[in-house]
């Protein structure tokens, strides 16, 4: 042997690393694996330090807005990160939709909590049209700070509805290159809508489409295609 390693009776050649990984698996090391907040006893905070996001009031947040620039940079990074890992535009839109879905689940939960936590008889939307209206107004206001610009029912298909945003704020700084013209980064928003509809019990497939007009070059349509079961149930409730 050209180089001999000092042989420890219990450890093989590779076990230097496995010895340390034993520490990793011990329960005491779980904080590093699950990124739990450090369990240091809370001492009075030094002045000027803002409270941790988990310590803030969930029902009445003092600061409702996040920095638009910070969000734009993050969203740009999300899009370019995703773009490097997909085969085509459809795949990219699908992944953005999935990411939006994760946001939408939380948006619905938080929004419902904030709206109903004081109510003696908390309610949720069970009819389709009020649910869609609340997405157009409440969800858009919670996420983008303004209601969507319109909601329409498809003329051709009874199971299709459209939410229209004349200037989607998540796309405000994005210029899609010419060879990807059909890509709509609002697929992320579509994911949010899909999650909210799913959470309310209206399973649907939601996609985003660019529908530019003369005065609104970034106009986007969020197309909602409801599952048949939803329409069948609506019919039953109506009777």
Partner 1 sequence: MTGEGTKAASAITVLPPTIIMAIYGLWVINKAGGLVYQRSFADGLAQLTSNEYLVLAGTLHGIHAITSRLSPMGSSSGAQVIEGESFKMTILLTPTGTKFVLLTSPAETSAEATLQKVYEVYADDVMKNPFHTPEMPIRSERFDSRIGILIGNGLTTV
Q: How far is the CB of 96 from partner 1 (least distance, A)?
A: 11
| Residue 137, C-beta contacts closer than 8 angstroms, at least 6 positions apart | 147, 148
166-90-167 Cα angle (round to 5): 10
Of 76 and 133, nearer to partner 1 (C-beta) is: 76
Site for partner 1 contains 166 (CB under 8 A): no
Site for partner 1 contains 175 (CB under 8 A): yes
DSSP-assigned states of every residue in 39-89 = -PPPPPPPTTPPPPGGGS-SSS-S-----HHHHHHHHHHHHHHHHTT-SSH
Q: How far is the CB of 89 from partner 1 (least distance, A)?
A: 12
Q: Are strands 220-226 and 204-210 parallel, antiparallel or unpaired?
A: antiparallel
**CA 43 distance to own-chain centroid:** 34
Site for partner 1 contains 72 (CB under 8 A): yes
Site for partner 1 contains 83 (CB under 8 A): yes
Of 83 and 166, nearer to partner 1 (C-beta) is: 83
Name which of residues 176 to 235 contact partner 1 (CB under 8 A): 176-177, 180, 185
Site for partner 1 contains 22 (CB under 8 A): no
Residues near partner 1 (CB under 8 A) = 69, 72-73, 75-80, 83, 173-177, 180, 185
């Amino acid at each position: 042997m050209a180089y001999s390693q000092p042989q420890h009776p219990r450890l093989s050649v590779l076990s230097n690393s496995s010895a340390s990984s034993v520490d990793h698996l011990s329960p005491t090391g779980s904080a590093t694996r699950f990124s739990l907040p450090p369990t240091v006893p809370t001492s009075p905070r030094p002045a000027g330090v803002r409270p941790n996001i988990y310590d803030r009031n969930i029902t009445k947040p003092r600061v409702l807005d996040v920095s638009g620039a910070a969000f734009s940079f993050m969203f740009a990074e999300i899009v370019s990160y995703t773009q490097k890992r997909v085969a085509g535009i459809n795949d990219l839109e699908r992944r953005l939709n999935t990411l939006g879905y994760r946001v939408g689940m939380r948006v619905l939960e938080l929004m419902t909590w904030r709206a109903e936590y004081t109510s003696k008889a908390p309610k949720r939307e069970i009819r389709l049209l009020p649910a869609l209206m609340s997405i157009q107004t409440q969800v858009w206001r919670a996420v983008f700070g303004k209601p969507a610009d319109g909601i329409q029912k498809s003329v051709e298909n009874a199971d299709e509805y459209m939410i229209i945003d004349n200037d989607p704020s998540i796309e405000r700084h994005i210029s899609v290159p010419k060879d990807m013209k059909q890509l709509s980064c609002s697929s992320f928003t579509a994911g949010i809508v899909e999650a909210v509809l799913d959470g309310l019990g209206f399973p649907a497939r939601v996609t985003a489409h660019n529908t530019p007009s003369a005065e609104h070059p970034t106009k986007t349509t969020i197309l909602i295609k409801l599952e048949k079961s939803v329409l069948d149930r609506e019919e039953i409730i109506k009777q």
